[in-house]
A and B are shown apart, each in its own frame.
Chain A
Amino acid sequence: MADEKKSKRVLLAKPGLDGHDRGVKVVARALRDAGMEVIYLGLHQTPEQIVQAAIEEDAEVVGLSSLAGAHMTIFTKLIELLRERGAPDIKVMGGGIIPDEDIAELERMGVVRLFTPGTQTSEIVDFVQRMGPGLER
């Protein structure tokens, strides 16, 4: 039913204090080169700022890069806020340095996918393209 190749609006951001943005920028460019509309918010974003922007920008997907170990705090807040602001249908994905046990926990909380080191951008592009309403994983 959904046109899977329709250009998705993806908002990417780096939450928290960490400034290592090589990965998120490579992902941003790959998604853009694959025809998606990418909004890259940049660094040092709070969950509030990310949710605000996601709603304003009409993003369908929010992707966070987390490398410095603060992922549990950040993703939990983000998902809470999306629910509070009436935008629970915005899909949350992410990537970075996240231990397996935490991945399982975060997915239980509602994060649709977390990409770990060694993932190719083609896999991320593919995943986002195939995302549709009701497609949780």
Chain B
Amino acid sequence: MDASEYKEEKARWLRESYSSSPEEEGPFMTVSSEPVEPLYGPGDIEDLSYESDLSFPGEFPYTRGIRGNMYRGRPWTMRQFSGFGTAKETNQRYKFLLEHGQTGLSVAFDMPSIMGLDSDDPLSEGEVGRCGVAIDSVKDMEELFDGIPLDNITTSMTTNAPASIMLSFYLVTGERQGAAFADMGGTIQNDILKEYIAQKSWIFPPKPSLRIITDVMRFCASEVPRWNTISISGYHIREAGSTAAQELAFTLADGIAYVQAGVDAGIDVDDFAPRLSFFFNSHIDFFEEIAKYRAARRIWARVMKERFGAKKEESLLLRFHTQTAGCSLTAQQPENNIVRTAFEGLAAVLGGTQSLHTNSMDEVLALPTEKAVEIALRTQQVMAYETGVRNTIDPLAGSYFVEHLTNRLEEQALQYFDEIEAEGGVLEAIDKGYFQRRIADSAYRYQMEIEKGERAVVGVNRFANEGERLDIELLRIEPSVEREQVARVQELRRERNQAAVEVAGAELRRRAEGTDNLMPAILDCVRAHMTLGEIVLVMKEVFGEYRERPLF
């Protein structure tokens, strides 16, 4: 049956078999509000070419996976995002996770550390250690990784505006352990564009922020070759309320902007592109997510080859980490979140992720308890070792629905690319509120669908339990954490060599005002025991601070 015969027969089938009983509920749409047909078949992928659109795993355009042997080689890295209170407490949690089978580390910082503020800054009051670990100096970083050799594990750090500094804390920590920079591997998120768009944890304005990023790229290309210098993120864009197509498009558009920035800074694309990585959400609509990851790989490979002329294969590979969708979880009946996370994790794996974080069931309400994070980790282990999903690569290839969705998402992403170009590029679009407005529109539409009963949230607007009371244990952060941390950072300032601080700070300022690479100067500031806030302050004085024009 060829495609046109199929279309005729499908029309008949719709009239005769499908309509034989009424549709129970609708609308039938993805979590991104995309309508879904009752059936997909040959007519929906008639232009699909195995050779050019799919090809083989590890071969251009990598739709089926970036490595030739994918999970038959080794499973995805199990990398739980984690951090709370002081470095000492978080160090214990990291050891717990490693003992329980986690294979990579991922650092969650507290809000002051995210925003480049010391724990004793007036703006940090009430926030120290509450949503992540407090890191004010290299001494805190050393405590964080006490007993964990940094040349033997890879670590991802979710730090953006101050990423160059956090990376420097990490590198000097490794140095003090006796590790060489060249043997240290990991990732800094360092994706400032999505901060302006979605996560909103900026410090400096866009242009100097891009300069910092290209300095990091250039430094790591020669000094820390195993380091992923950016984790170009869609996770936060999606959490802010975007659709899957927007997540895909906006993330890749940001990626394109970073590649262009590197090229404009005079770095050969093949020298830095292999160390760009990505970070996507895995939301609750199973098939849409799988298609999204496949489309992402294909689009990126083509862009890198055709637009940027990259020659090395590693420059074409979209390597990504995935986190299951925090925004899909509910405070009501939190045990249901274990189920949601499992489905979302499965989608990520069927989509070919390189590493995965699975949310804990209590994360709507607090940072995870040991019990909750153990379940989340076990979820990944059950997937990896019991379900058979690692036995074959890209098992859903050829599915009419999944290939159709992959094509559709790619189409939509390319349309968004055109719109962003028309706005004048990513920086212009950010300034005009292009991304922010679309995200807010999608978030609002989603909420209205819930309130109109068009979208079910189990335990909340369907199958809710009357008079439900929370009966799980939650992690609480004690106020003593803040007092302790404040005392630590003040002691550090008293005990260090103040002259060394001044020299290091002056050199950083000189470089910030000029064009010399900031990284060696930041490393020296770190070695002199300057604090995060102090280093940021030097940079703020030169680069200024960003202010958003809030819209809703």
Seen from chain A, the residues whose Cβ lies within 8 Å of a Cβ on chain B are: 16-22, 24-26, 28-30, 32, 38, 40-43, 46, 68-70, 72-74, 97, 99-100, 116-118, 120-122
Contact partner of B327 (CB less than 8 A), chosen from A19, A22, A24, A73, is: A22
- The listed residue (B201, B364, B444, B477) touching A97 by CB distance below 8 A is B364
The answer to whether B332 and A118 touch across the interface, beta carbons within 8 angstroms, is yes
B123 and A17 contacting across the interface, CB-CB below 8 Å: yes
Task: Give the complex CA separation of A21 and B551 in angstroms.
Answer: 10
Complex alpha-carbon distance, A19 and B114, angstroms = 11
> Across the interface, which residues of A come within 8 angstroms of B131, CB to CB?
18, 68-69
Establish whether residues B200 and A21, one from each chain, have CB atoms under 8 Å apart when the complex forms: yes
CB pair A17 B117 closer than 8 Å: yes
Bound-state CA distance A25–B242 (Å) is 13
19 A-B pairs (CB sep. < 8 Å): A17-B127, A18-B127, A19-B200, A21-B240, A22-B239, A22-B241, A26-B443, A28-B552, A30-B447, A41-B550, A43-B200, A43-B548, A73-B126, A74-B126, A97-B366, A116-B331, A117-B331, A118-B331, A121-B451
Contact A19 B364 (CB under 8 A): no
Indicate if the CB atoms of B450 and A120 lie closer than 8 Å.
yes
Q: Which B residue's beta carbon lies closest to that of A76?
A: B126
Pair A117/B552 contact, Cβ less than 8 Å: no
Q: Does B79 contact A (CB under 8 A)?
A: no
B550 adjacent to A70 (CB under 8 Å): no
B359 CB, nearest partner CB in chain A, Å = 14
List residues of B whose CB falls within 8 A of some A CB.
111-112, 114-115, 117, 123-127, 130-131, 195, 199-201, 239-241, 327, 330-332, 364-366, 440, 443-444, 447, 450-451, 457, 460-461, 470, 474, 477, 548, 550-552
User: Could you tell me if B470 and A97 are in contact, using CB atoms closer than 8 angstroms?
Assistant: no
Residues of chain B lying within 8 A (CB to CB) of residue A26: 241, 440, 443-444, 447
Nearest 7 pairs of A and B residues by beta carbon: A19-B200, A73-B126, A42-B550, A69-B130, A17-B111, A70-B126, A117-B331
In angstroms, Cα B131 to Cα A97, docked, is 12
Choose from B201, B548, B552 the contact partner of A25 (Cβ within 8 Å). Answer: B552
Q: Which residue of A lies closest to B331 (CB)?
A: A117
Residues of B within 8 A of A40 (CB): 550-552
